[in-house]
Structure 1
Amino acid sequence: MTSPAARTALDLTDGLPVPDLEDFYRDLHRHPELSLEEHRTAGKLAGRLKEAGFETAEGIGGTGVAGVLRNGDGPTVLLRADLDALPVKEETGLPYASEADGVMHACGHDLHVTWLAGAAGALAAGRETWNGTLLVVGQPAEETGQGAARMVADGLYERFGRPDVLLGQHAAPGPAGLYPHAPGLIMSASTDVDIVVHGRGGHGSRPESTVDPVVTAAYLVTRLQTVVSRELAAREAAVLTVGRIEAGTRHNIIPSEARIELNLRTQSAEVRERMLAAIRRIAQGECLAAGCPREPEITLGNTFPETVNDVGTDTSVAAVHREVFGAAAVFDPGPAMGSEDFPQLALGSIPYSYWFVTTTPAEVWEQAPGASFPEKFSAVPSNHSPRFAPDLSTVAPGVRTLVSGALAFLSVA
């Protein structure tokens, strides 16, 4: 037996304008924009929402877009997509590759916007089949963890109403056609940490008259690798990545400072605090051992919360996805180490469901080395890779996931 939500979703997405949506996606991919610079992308989405009959506003939280379609009594459902690209030089070789030097949609947000535009259009065209309010949000600056909070602070809910449920999805590596769900923790928290090591600069020929911050930074980077391997229990999932080291200006100049930028991924507040305490202890200890003239500066940067699906909400969405796509296509992958600012739209109390849509082209997956799923998963281009290129065959299914998810909560007529 198929539920009314699943039947209606299949009906509303049966005649999707797939060629038009694919062209829309290619255009977005050619013109990526960095966080809080998504003016063109926001304008493109806003245009689609206006054409579909949504009351639309731009510039929310900087470059955010929101559209609302009030369609009688019923729940308010929010569908969200993120708009921003990454400072990555594209290496896909696609005919519609990025035309912006050093900027690329390497995380699939162009596909997210396409899915959102398609779902908004389908639900608007079939508004006689459901009752309630549909709130569609194009959010800026997900990559920097700023966008969701900025839109809320700028009065998103005061202007359009507080939703009863939030729904979102993300393109992910894996053979196209899977829709992973996790009832509970699905994505980890993220914390950026900046460290400045202070030394005493001088001529490269006289290191004895200096305190070399480069050497200290090198020791620090090496020692930081023991935080996860030696200070956390094996059952406690965490990642510490040093993403950048910067020091000096010339070959023969010992600089006066070195900068280290690192990122933590954690799945509990307690582990996060222990890791931060360890980073502070190690940084201070290495600088003391080196005789640095000052203690290191340690600053916390962008942070993302844990993404924890409401169990009831996610169970409902996963159930309708099983009806629409087949039971084998929906499974629980366990929590990922990636992070999202989507939970900031929930204000700590609005239930939400967030899931993945796998997008690796079949031929890429088949040609990837390895025989098992984990081996191939590790080998194919992933999010943030300069070779990340989602399969266009996922355009229609990604619209269908949002439409069916929304109809699981809207009052189906």
Structure 2
Amino acid sequence: MKTLLIRNARLVNEGHITEADLLVRSGRIDKIAPSIDAAADQEVDANGQWLLPGMIDDQVHFREPGLMHKGCIATESAAAVAGGITSFMDMPNTRPPTLDLQALAGKKAIAARDARANYAFHFGVSNGNIDTVAALDPREVAGVKVFMGASTGDMLVDDPATLERLFATVPTILLAHCEHTPRIRHKESLWRKRLGSKVPMAAHPHIRDAEACWLSSSMAVDLARRHGTRLHVLHITTARELELFEDKPLAEKRITAEVCIHHLMFDSRDYPRLGSLLKCNPAVKSPEDRTALRAALRGNRIDVIGTDHAPHTLEEKSGDYFSAPAGLPLVQHALPALMELVHDGVIDLPTLVAKTSHRVADLFGIVDRGYLREGAWADLVLVGPRSPNAAEDPVLARCGWSPFAGYRFRSRVNTTIVSGQIAWHDGALRPDCRGQPLTFER
């Protein structure tokens, strides 16, 4: 690998912002110092830009195999590096779903060939594969994902005995999507009786409401406490759910929580403008919920920020309320969107870095990533101000659209470096960059 020297950067790392140079050798951070007098194969003058550890996204749906008309590992990881994401963990609800070791190996082989960012995969749970889950090597998967609420296909686990056994025997971190299916189906039936197929998209947070989230997430937390499970509850959307999580350091917790970008950036007032483009599960909810989620970022109830990137084609999204699928493409605008929270004073930049990089690495036990440290892998992002005259970036995700279309972010990802390789620079992809498999210390 070529050596790379980044000069005149403002490093954001472990709670501090410092001016320094950074030297990359053999894919890793070789030296950090106020000034580095060394020759390198490549040099980048940061000119005062922020240098961050790359975002580690704990929840994406890159759609491969089986759903590649929506996206694939090659296209979606390209969008990810453009958005400052250097590592991703892909979810198991593909076709076929990742419910056995053969499916897991197949996805790893695709990523080794095509991923532009570092990669790992979550393993899925069904009512019929608990023996396989219990026998997993924790180092071979990012985590185990359970849909405890409404989902599709074979991945909804709704049998109480199966859930008890899962929480008692899962050998690694358990990630839970929490929505209460019976309540959702009841609410759907009420709206359908009133309006038939004319149910508006604005009804989504009333159908998949706060109570549906609470019923499921509180059950998951109760199961985890009884069984001592290492539980990570995904995409928290309501103020009430925050009560389930302790406001203390990550190292002192066995139950953690994630919030996603769209639940921080949008609220129910955006449905009339975005319609089905904002439809996601769990739903974007009230302004009060969004305010509570943002405030929780300043403490320790919310541990990490993810995207839940879930692309669908515009044709698919053009259906009515019941037929339009749920999910948004979000990776390409991940860091620029989150930087808006910094510009608006919601959180400071070191806190953002902690919740997108440091704590993700710590929570999942990822080896040598998530920090700007000598010896660590060089997963780096240079973020600077966006020119007021900059043209809007083309959407790199295969679906071709973004909920942020027309939004003028105040920051821009100028350079993304993955395992020491420049993956994105000055608005262009570097086609030869390939990510590496994440490794876990468990």
TM-score, with length taken from structure 1: 0.27
* Higher-helix-fraction structure: 1
Greater RCO, 1 or 2 (C-alpha within 8 Å, sep 6+): 1
- Which structure: larger Rg? 1
TM-score normalized by the length of structure 2: 0.25
